Amino acid sequence: MLTEKSYFLWSEQVRRKLLNSVEKCVDEALEGLVRSNGGLALLRGHRVVLRSDLESIKGKVALLSGGGSGHEPAHAGYIGVGMLSGAVAGAVFASPPPGSVLAAILTLWKGGASGVLLIVKNYTGDRLNFGIAVEQARTQGVHVDMVIVADDCAFAQPSKAGRRGLCGTVFIHKIAGALAEKGCPLDEIVARMNEATKNIGTLGVSLSPCSVPGCLPSFQLPPGEMELGLGIHGEPGIKRSKVASADEVVKTIISHMTDSSNKSHLSLKSGDKVVLCVNNLGALSCLEIAVVSKVAIHCLEERGVLVVRVMSGSFMTSLEMGGMSLSLMKVDEEMLRLFDAKTTAPAWPNLSTASVSGRNMFMKPEEKPAAASDNYNEGREETERQISILLEHQEELNALDRAAGDGDCGSTHALVANAIQEWLHTSRIPGNFGQLLAELALLVQQSMGGSSGALYCLFLSAAAPHLKQNCDGAAWAKALHAGTEAMKRSVTQVLAEHFQSELFSFILESDLGAEATRNLTARAGRASYVASEHLTQPDPGAIAVAAILKAILNALKA
């Protein structure tokens, strides 16, 4: 019996989703897609999306795909000229009924198609329901056939059901769509797609589960673990391990995909040309996907494989699963031309037709002439020590920044501190303090983003001219005054209140100024959007400046 307490515990574990109704979410999603794209239409009475210009497919093969919902943008997002003619959607993670598949086939056939090709992922429910519709359509005289996509490279010994259909299915949508648009007959497209599926492989990794709306998560992953080879519905993978770096994860995926002892492997050798698809399974950030893309390209190129095209984004998802998959398709020049053919499908990316491998991705920056000056290397060791002290404040500053900002103040300061350390190891320190500050301003400009980076750059650039001739206390006071004025609005109370003071007392009192910022109201930046009652910590920028000034004092004393 479901008690009130047990219901509460269950409901707390069911993930919140931005939906109106569990029962209507698929229908509302399809309506949203169609309303957003003028080239699409719904087939009344069915969860079927079709091209709105069916007259354009007369005399050509129509392509139909589909499956359970929850994998968006697959499959309706790939409907358009040069790709699918229609897609049939089931409930979330459930195969669509044969009646809807048959209705879609007959609509395309009666619209003037010369034949209808069904592109189906290798899952038992999909094969049964789409297969039943194919047989029923044939009894009505429809020229129809079906291609099964089974691109999963996870299992060394696939079950009797065979390899699962994954994101590689999208490749087939594109190649078959280009052939159909050219006017190729159904039999030829089927033969070529059956051959193409042999040259496609996919393998993914998950860091967190997904959940069907209104249900508990499909599986559990302990914190800090990931699972290799899951299916797109949360079906078990091949192994679990500790979460590793992007480098390690990508290397593991590609090694397993191409391992010849694995009966599901994709044979890949040096010199092969491939299209790479980096697919977000739902919850990874664009930043993570971009890192994975970079690593995957590098890993393949290290093997001598030529990466000719890269798709990076969400192509076949698993609701909100935190993970990604890599799909590879081996291509020759003809396949590449078909892949590059234009399409109006809303979910297809606007890809460059330039080869990825072999392309120089860097532009040479304009080199600034080296300034003629004496060089001073004796202070290098002390300067490095002070930079290390600044780096020790990283976590403290991040913690303070989390109360009012995005929690990266310490990390942002660490970027420039690390850049200065690298510069110290590869350059000679200018003997003139004015030139030194000018160099530091350039380093800040190149390596430190955020408001702090801009303010430090202004400060250092304005202070530098006052230290070219003298570097005594009075000169430093003038330099600090000029830097503060250049910033107009001081980054912290620490500089605004004390620039007229004698230099050493200015620095020694900086902690008091930094501490006083806990009582100030933010008028700009992210903290200005936070209610004042939540701002109870000193400003992290003020703490950073105080640490910098103390480091300067220690360096001068040395």
| Phi and psi at residue 498, to the nearest 5° | -120, 10
Catalytic residue among 46, 233, 256, 413: 233
Q: Angle between the 380-391 and 540-557 helix axes, to the nearest 10 degrees?
A: 160
532 and 499 in contact (C-beta within 8 Å)? no
CA torsion, points 491, 497, 503, 504, in degrees to nearest 10?
-90
Q: What is the DSSP string of 475-499?
A: HHHHHHHHHHHHHSS-SSHHHHTTT
- Going by C-alpha positions, the residue among 497, 499, 417 that lies closest to residue 452 is 417
Peptide bond into 73 cis (omega under 30): yes
| CA separation for the pair 550, 489 (Å, rounded) | 22
Element housing 120 (H / E)? strand 115-121
116 and 62 in contact (C-beta within 8 Å)? yes
| CA separation for the pair 53, 350 (Å, rounded) | 22
Q: What is the DSSP string of 127-139?
A: HHHHHHHHHHHHT
- For residue 489, what are the contacts with CB-CB under 8 A and spacing of at least 6? 524
Please state the three-class secondary structure of 21-36 as a single string: CCCCHHHHHHHHHHHH
- Going by C-alpha positions, the residue among 49, 28, 47, 23 that lies closest to residue 38 is 49
User: What would you report as the CA-atom Rg of the chain, rounded to the nearest whole angstrom?
Assistant: 31
Instruction: Classify residue 8 as exposed, middle or buried by CB count within 10 Å of its CB (0-12, 13-18, 19+).
Output: exposed
41 and 50 in contact (C-beta within 8 Å)? yes
Chain centroid offset of residue 124 CA: 32
- Going by C-alpha positions, the residue among 331, 83, 82 that lies closest to residue 196 is 331
- Angle at Cα 127 formed by Cα 274 and Cα 26, nearest 5°? 85
Distances (CA, A) of 152 to 237, 289, 418, 469: 11, 20, 43, 70
Annotated catalytic residue 298: no
- Point out the residues that are catalytic: 233
